[in-house]
Amino acid sequence: MSFKAYDPGDFYDELFTAPGVPRSAAALLVERIESVPIDSLIVRQQAAQNTLFKMGVTFNVYGDEQGSEKVFPFDVVPRIIPGKDWSWLEKGLQQRITALNCFLDDIYNDQKIIEDGVIPRETVESASGFLPPCMGLKPPGGVWCHITGTDLVRDRQGSWHVLEDNLRCPSGVSYVLENRTVMKSSFPSLFEALDIKAVDDYPSQLLSTLRALAPDYISNPTVVLLTPGSFNSAYFEHSFLAQQMGITLVEGPDLVVDDGYVKMRTTRGLCKVDVIYRRIDDDFIDPQVFRADSMLGVPGLMDVYRKGRVAIANAPGTGIADDKLVYAYVPQMIKYYLNEEQIIPNVPTYFCEDEKQQSHVLANLDSLVVKATDASGGYGMLIGCQSSKEEQQEFAHRIKANPRGYIAQPTLSLSRVPTLIDQSFQGRHVDLRPFILYGKGSAPYVNPGGLTRVALKEGSLVVNSSQGGGSKDTWVVNEE
């Protein structure tokens, strides 16, 4: 199957510099794919999708009348990142998560960054993710966020930008691992010919990170993964990671606070739990402290946590760093806490709560991307250039009614990757979510590559799985 008809267009293409001219790191991949007949490539694509279906690689979409459980679409053409580019990204991500953890520890304790006027108190305290009950908490080693998924994009010039941070319960790493398994079986010779960084030690790295959170005097801590249950959009990932790490998957009713400790109900009685990898949002963790109507959490958990008798990853309260207005201050955080300049830049961001900037946003809704500061998953956003006048008017009303609730950014021409669509290669926009682990007393570990999400609809810039996006394997390739 040939790439001769493939046109990179007026975008940064991850595999080609010009029509028919592959990037050096992608040259062998392009050569090998072109040696495969179209029928064979389509068969491999379908076989890969069938394999993922049999593995149960799914996600749930809330409120879909066609059924909530969906198979995550997979494209057989991988995205390639040269090793030297990855080394730079790795440093930038380590820098970012280090500064964000400093911010979390500061904001729930001394609040020096507010006192020194770097970030307004109102910005922090008005964020829905800021949880006053977490004031004074001291997580093990001073690390609040142990698992992060940071969304990156490339613009038309090929420059990387941080699009947003995900510090509560970032999802997607299971697809990274399963996509790699499928690609290894579909193109084994390419993995022999190219020096592709492995991703499959993530579960062992994650387990080591979690175990390290337990007090030093516990030599063999009991670690569990706390899930909201099978109706959650990422339930497949919860069960997958628990299985890969060999730990127990539990729901709230499986845990109980007894005699000052968190314990798990088992067929042999109660068993003390030392570390909880929670995959439920902050305000559902403990109904005695946060949402009283929560049926997902564990009553009394925060009291045990505050006494240091159980560790939680990620620590409650990290959700404030997911706020898109707080995101805009990360460059200042890096300078304030690390005395360094930001390595990977943010996307320029307009504050709708600022009167002058709001006027600019309202006058340019047809060209900007507007986002709700507390939303995720592609919900609560307006892509101006792809919106109707009615939608723009609706967002104008929303912004005026709640200026703190919205930010706006220029519409980036996201980079593209050739994607197998209707028996031909067509350019589709992508983003990238690398996963970072940050344990007690260790430098942040960045799993090589990450999840490449692809907007399968022609021209679409929305890559979220809940909005019809798919995924690709991401290869970090070392060149000679």
- Candidates 274, 272, 278; CA nearest to 226 is 278
In sequence order, the 6+-apart residues with CB closer than 8 A to the CB of 66 are none
Report the distance separating Cα 237 and Cα 46, nearest Å. Answer: 22
The first and second tokens of residue 434, run together, are 């690398």
Report the distance separating Cα 53 and Cα 71, nearest Å. Answer: 6
With a threshold of 0.85, does the pTM exceed it?
A: yes
CB atoms within 10 A of CB 313: 27
What integer pLDDT is reported at residue 339 of this predicted model? 98
The first and second tokens of residue 77, run together, are 């053409």
Rg (CA), the chain: 23
CB atoms within 10 A of CB 480: 4
The first and second tokens of residue 398, run together, are 């929303």
CB atoms within 10 A of CB 259: 7
- φ and ψ at 63, to 5 degrees? 75, 15
Amino acid (one-letter) located at 445: Y
- Candidates 264, 316, 369; CA nearest to 129 is 316
Beta 381-383 vs 275-278: how paired, if at all? unpaired
- φ and ψ at 142, to 5 degrees? 75, 10
Report the distance separating Cα 16 and Cα 20, nearest Å. Answer: 7
Report the distance separating Cα 170 and Cα 148, nearest Å. Answer: 6
DSSP H or E run through 86: helix 83-107
Report the distance separating Cα 348 and Cα 175, nearest Å. Answer: 30
What integer pLDDT is reported at residue 52 of this predicted model? 79
* Helix, strand or coil, per DSSP, at residue 283: helix
Q: Is 378 left (phi over 0), alpha (psi -120 to 50) or beta?
A: left
Report the distance separating Cα 174 and Cα 234, nearest Å. Answer: 10
Burial code (b: 16+ CB inside 10 Å, e: under 16) for 331-366 equals: bebbebbeeeebbbebbebbbbbeeebbeebbeebe
DSSP H or E run through 470: strand 469-478
Determine the distance from the C-alpha atom of residue 118 to the mean position of all C-alpha atoms in its chain, rounded to a whole number.
Answer: 26
Evaluate the CA torsion angle 21, 25, 31, 33 in order and state its sign.
negative
Helical packing angle, 173-186 and 235-245, nearest 10°:
70
CB atoms within 10 A of CB 133: 17
Q: Please name the residue ranges forming H helices in 334-466.
A: 355-363, 389-401
CB atoms within 10 A of CB 476: 25
Sites in the chain below the pLDDT cut of 50: none
Beta 275-278 vs 223-226: how paired, if at all? parallel
Degrees, nearest 5: CA angle 360-396-404: 75
